[in-house]
A and B are shown apart, each in its own frame.
Chain A
Amino acid sequence: MNAKNEITGWQLFFLIVQTQVGVGILSMPSDIGKVAKQDAWISMVLAGVLVQIIILLYIFLLSRFPEDTYFGIVNFCFGSILGKIIMSTYLLYFIGVLVASLTNFHHIIATWIFTDTPKWVIMLLFSIPAVYMARENIVLIARFKMLISFMLPILIFVLGWVYIQPQFLYLLPIGGSGLNAIIAGIKPAIFALMGFEAFLFFAFYVKTDRKKELRKGALATAFVTTFYVFTIITTQVFFYIKEIIVVPYPVLYIMKALKFTILERIDLVFITVWMVIALSSFISFLFIAGNTMEQLLSKQKHTKMVYFIMVMAFLGALIPTSMLEMKEFMEVLLPGSLIFTVAIPILTMIISLFKKSSQKEKSA
């Protein structure tokens, strides 16, 4: 059916959605709310627009080189030595992301369900399915993501219960927190949307009808933004803004207060469902990191790279012990991510514009 290593536009859509949506969504409303107050959703919309523009830049860059992977383009633009250096920094960045998501995941599990279980056990359990999936090829991963995406509506469904007694007044006055606060809120909002850089790597596998299908990747980030805006608004009509700031995982907190006839404490059930979504995001990065390393070392298979990277990420995640250390790490990683998702791709694009035109002149 599918030739090996080729995905469709919709599969790209779900790959990107599932890379962006992870555990972050559970804490995101509170992270943005801290800065932008009741206008957090405006910040999110603006951040969504920005990310959309970045994605369009990506599409522009990638459609100039339909035959090349992203690193192929980087190598072409920067030369192979500088290209390799850039690739290794990317690899480090991805390992950083993996460490961060592993620790974040553990933190949720540890605060919410397993207070006493050692960190390494939880992370080991988490990494088993991750490695099991990430060592496969892109087609199987895409299938996995599509299957898992049936779980996204669960969140919407559960959060929908908030709208039985919503307090829309908490959203007013719109723009009341001031322009500066809203703009400052864009930063955490973009961090929440992180994962869209996966587009750079997954788009390579879309081979048929490329121009049209790549747009579905842009649609994916638009979808995620809408999804996030919905989540933010839902938490804000449920909690008073000061409460959101105190509560680190407002989404889970909402579920904690809901009561159904068959089950109470939906949060406990939900967190396990969401674990799979978090895993899915983790798998994407693990796969990308494995591929980066494969290309860096010019190997044929990424399977062994995935094992190696998983071990690295696992060991890395064991180092930060306190919340504070984790926070420091995030403070380095998040701004750093902007270099890899925005700066380097744009630089590559500019150089490629020059290089291509000079090449044309040569051939002409």
Chain B
Amino acid sequence: MDQDKNYLKIPEQKINEYENTQNLFEDLSFFLGNTEDFSKRPLSYDDGEAICMYMSTLLDGEKLEKSIEWFQRSIWEVGEITTTLNIQSISPDETINQVGLRLVKGQALIWVKKENGWEGVSIDSPIDHYRAIQEPKNEQIVRGSHAGFNESLLTNIHQIRTKIRSQHLVIRYLTIGKEANTTCVLIYLNNVVNHMNVEEYIMRLQAVDSDIAFSIGYLEEFIEDDSWSPFPQFLNTERPDRVVANISEGRIAMMIEGSPTALVAPMNFFAFYQSPDDYNGRFLVGSFYRLLRLGSFLIALLLPAFYIAIISFHFEVIPDELALPAKRAVEGIPYSPLIEALILELTIELIREAGIRLPNPIGQTIGIVGGLVIGDAVVNAGLISNLMIIVVALTAISSFVVPSVEMNTTVRILRFPFMILASMFGFFGIAIMGTVLIIHLIKLESLRSPYLSPIAPFHLKGAKDMFIRLPSYLQNTRSADANPVNKRRQGYSRWWKNEREK
């Protein structure tokens, strides 16, 4: 054996240069840090030696066994390696580095040393220990598909592919994470999407210089336009139907292995307020609920601030009939309205946070105990006025109306600066904060598209599906914020209506 082996050169060594399987295995094992789940299985082979190497923790043993059996049989019966779906031949020109990556990604490798050189085969036999397809818990809908993504990238792409069976649907694989080598996939419609956006997205993903990419949320911060903004610029969703709808608008979805979430961009603010439910119900109902949701944004953001401003600065705006009840409600409350509101808001946030972590039945109990008992007791104790309870409760409910978890948290955080400014400068403070927020939203971009798209810059056509939802057959153009190449979505589908009248 070669005693002065240069260990530094191992990664660059090609398979061809090895003399026997034992050396190859040893070097690979060294390359993989002598990890103990790196296993080998010598195979019997007629004209040489063969070895199967794999990471035992990444493979389904039974499947592997079957594949090896198939491999051996094909060699006996046909005399050469037949490739199948999960058996692929690999070139012996690959370096240890490349081979090592294959192992880490979950392939089993069979290397055959023949007299005239090496021959290699990779076998895919992944473990399918994934969650079944379920409805995502935080994005439930009433009508429509109840499928959700799971942690398997393949299953997820499958779900999208089956919804858009088009030659234009493009899947693009990328690998992120210097250590983790996570597979990441971009999905878009080739004939609709703006390729500038695709390139931008790919460029940003490739620029990620992180060692691991363990989740979408982690990755999002690397690639979003403005991390300091409280607003989510990319849509996180676990619903295939939502992703498909967005892809057909010309947006790009990104998913990574092991995460049930798709990251969709470029988004605009109003798209966060769309829910698949809007399209499954009648359009009047859908429009109503969408307006309600947008209204809830304003309520959740401004109501407590507005109340504080009125109670501590501008009670003149309360109508005469209400002035006295309001006065009676706040009479004798020891704290200033801001403190009062903060106590309650924080209590509600506590209840919410506690409810998430606890198992379901206890979570509900906490909700009831927190909501009813604390609320009632706090009013009786005279700590907080009952008007404040109404305001805060309404705010809390409104903030949960948003069909996107990120936007929901955004709104809940954003109301605090409003409240503080309202307690200092009344309506004036709210207006200042509101203006700053509007300016911020105008500046904000999602994948270089304006975030407030249909209203700033203003497109009347884009507003068709933003504030209200017009009937599907009228939405003939795609929304402009993703800047799709192909703006026209469909023609007029109801020509028969005129025909019949004739």
Contacts and interface: CB of A to CB of B under 8 A. Distances in A.
Q: Report if A and B touch in the complex (beta carbons < 8 A).
A: yes
Interface of A: 1-2, 109, 113-114, 117, 122, 125-126, 128-129, 132-133, 136, 140, 143-144, 146-148, 259-266, 268-269, 271-273, 275-276, 279
A272 B430 contact: yes
B442 A144 contact: yes
B79 interface: no
B85 to A, nearest CB: 45
Sort A-B residue pairs by CB-CB distance and give the 6 closest, nearest first: A272-B431, A272-B427, A143-B456, A129-B435, A265-B316, A147-B456
Q: Which of A263, A268, A275 has the most CB of B within 10 A?
A: A268
Contact of A276 (B313, B317, B431, B455): B431
Q: Which of B320, B426, B439 has the most CB of A within 10 A?
A: B439
Given A117-B425, A276-B431, A263 B456 contact: no
B132 interface: no
Contact of B436 (A1, A132, A262): A132
A274 to B, nearest CB: 9
Contacts of B343: none
Contacts of B452: 143, 147
Interface in B445-475: 449-450, 452, 455-458
28 contacts: A1-B449, A2-B457, A114-B428, A122-B428, A125-B428, A129-B436, A129-B439, A132-B436, A132-B440, A140-B442, A143-B452, A144-B439, A144-B442, A144-B456, A146-B456, A146-B457, A146-B458, A147-B438, A147-B452, A260-B319, A264-B316, A264-B317, A264-B318, A264-B319, A266-B317, A268-B427, A272-B430, A272-B431
**Majority secondary structure, B binding face:** helix
Contacts of A128: 432, 436
A331 to B, nearest CB: 29
Given A126-B432, A128-B436, A272-B431, A147 B319 contact: no
Contacts of B440: 132
Nearest to B315: A265
A262 B457 CA distance: 33
Contacts of A2: 457
B432 A263 contact: no
Contacts of B21: none
A144 B430 CA distance: 18
Contact of A129 (B427, B432, B456): B432
B481 to A, nearest CB: 9
A133 B439 CA distance: 6
Most chain A beta carbons < 10 A, residue from B432, B435, B450, B455: B435
B382 to A, nearest CB: 28
Contacts of B318: 264
A266 B318 CA distance: 10
Nearest to A270: B427
Given A140-B443, A143-B442, A264-B317, A275 B457 contact: no
B246 interface: no
Given A113-B428, A117-B425, 16 more contacts: A1-B457, A113-B426, A125-B428, A128-B432, A129-B432, A129-B435, A133-B439, A143-B457, A144-B439, A147-B458, A264-B318, A264-B320, A268-B317, A272-B428, A275-B431, A276-B435
B438 A125 contact: no
A279 B456 contact: no
A132 B318 CA distance: 33
Contacts of A259: 319
B248 interface: no
Chain B interface residue count: which class?
20 to 34
Contacts of A125: 425, 428-429, 432
Contacts of B436: 128-129, 132
Contacts of B314: 113, 265, 268
B483 interface: yes
Contact of A143 (B426, B431, B450): B450
Contacts of B456: 143-144, 146-147
A121 to B, nearest CB: 8
Contacts of B483: 1
Contacts of B317: 263-266, 268-269
A103 to B, nearest CB: 16
Nearest to A274: B431
Nearest to B321: A261
Contacts of A273: 431
A275 B429 CA distance: 11
Nearest to A146: B458
Contacts of A147: 438, 442, 452, 455-456, 458
Interface string B287-329: 0000000000000000000000000011011111000000000
A144 B438 contact: yes
Contacts of B455: 147
A265 to B, nearest CB: 4
Given A129-B435, A276-B431, A136 B443 contact: yes
Contacts of A144: 438-439, 442, 456
Interface in B391-441: 425-432, 434-436, 438-440
A293 B431 CA distance: 30
Contacts of B439: 129, 132-133, 144
A126 B428 CA distance: 9
Contacts of B431: 272-273, 275-276
Nearest to A147: B456
A133 B438 CA distance: 10
A13 to B, nearest CB: 12
B223 to A, nearest CB: 21
Nearest to A148: B438
A113 B313 CA distance: 9
Contacts of B313: 113
A58 B320 CA distance: 53
Nearest to A114: B428
Contacts of A126: 432
A25 B321 CA distance: 33
Contacts of B450: 1, 143
Contact of A268 (B316, B319, B435, B438): B316
A265 B314 CA distance: 9
B12 to A, nearest CB: 47
Contacts of B438: 144, 147-148
A76 B288 CA distance: 59
B312 to A, nearest CB: 13
